[in-house]
């Protein structure tokens, strides 16, 4: 295992209405491969005890694409990212878990390994992977304290005017304590604009319990960009194609 990560939980239940397709969002291809498989390939670098994939919309179609060894949890109603983790609670072993969205095909094993290492170095109970964006619209804002620790994450729809000026945003990737996370999610409600259970509420819940929450800001924001529309899918294709071309040139130089 890398930095004692007991499990990786991949959230792949969403319908992806903005994709304007009947195909489950995570099966849309980037460079000829379903984006969920790109995520699972990157997750292998963490070398956790267990990989849990949370499925929902169109799960029958997704099942056949999963590699051997994945444990499947079913989120029959899509009521938010926190609800997705609760749907998988029985499959998640004790210890630290890394949570990754299934619609982030550009993430690399190196980035996930570095997140695990940063979590171990920080000594925090949880670590949030963040990114800096010139236009943070739509993303949850990361609110830090004076000591640099994370106080809370505020979803864009629920942020006030001051919070909306923050350009450091949540990538949706975390290292979290499995047991405490489930405990907090069972306590929080859905009193928010979306009427959903947010996984981000775990951060404030941990702080309320006196726990330290750290953040690691990735240098290249493209590594953790999500795909929610045909336009974003095309952008992911462009970026990954560029990476592949660069790898081929590098290989040629090495020979």
Active site residues: 18
**C-alpha distances out from residue 187 to 173, 181, 183, 240, Å:** 22, 10, 7, 40
SS3 content of the chain, % helix, strand, coil (to 5): 40, 25, 40
Torsion of CA 99, 104, 110, 113, to 10 degrees: 0
- The values of phi and psi at residue 72, to 5°, are -105, 135
- The values of phi and psi at residue 98, to 5°, are -105, 125
Torsion of CA 149, 155, 156, 162, to 10 degrees: -40
Tokens read off for 144: 């830090």
Contact by Cβ (8 Å): 216, 130: yes
Sign of CA dihedral 144, 146, 147, 148: positive
Closest by Cα among 193, 171, 201 to 85 = 201
Closest by Cα among 103, 41, 104 to 70 = 41
Cα separation of 16 and 12, whole Å? 10
Cα separation of 109 and 40, whole Å? 9
């Amino acid at each position: 295992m890398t930095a004692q990560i007991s499990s990786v939980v991949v959230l792949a239940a969403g319908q992806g209405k903005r994709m304007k397709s009947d195909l489950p969002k995570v099966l849309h291809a980037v460079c000829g491969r379903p984006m969920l498989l790109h995520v699972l390939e990157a997750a292998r670098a963490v070398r956790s005890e267990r990989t849990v994939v949370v499925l929902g919309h169109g799960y029958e179609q997704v099942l056949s694409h999963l590699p051997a060894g994945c444990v499947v949890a079913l989120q029959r109603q899509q009521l938010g990212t926190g609800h997705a983790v609760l749907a998988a609670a029985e499959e998640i072993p004790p210890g630290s878990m890394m949570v990754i969205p299934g619609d982030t095909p550009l993430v690399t094993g190196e980035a996930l390994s570095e997140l695990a290492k940063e979590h171990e170095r920080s000594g925090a109970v949880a670590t949030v992977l963040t990114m800096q964006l010139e236009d943070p619209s739509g993303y949850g804002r990361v609110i830090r304290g004076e000591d640099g620790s994370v106080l809370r994450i505020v979803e864009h729809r629920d942020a006030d005017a001051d919070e909306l000026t923050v350009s450091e945003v949540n990538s949706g990737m975390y290292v979290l304590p499995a047991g405490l996370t489930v405990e907090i999610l069972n306590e929080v409600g859905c009193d928010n604009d979306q009427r959903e259970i947010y996984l981000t509420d775990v951060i404030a819940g941990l702080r309320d319990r006196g726990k330290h929450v750290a953040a690691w800001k990735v240098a290249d924001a493209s590594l953790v960009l999500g795909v929610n529309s045909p336009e974003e899918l095309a952008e992911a294709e462009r970026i990954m194609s560029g990476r592949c071309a660069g790898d081929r040139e590098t290989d040629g130089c090495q020979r």
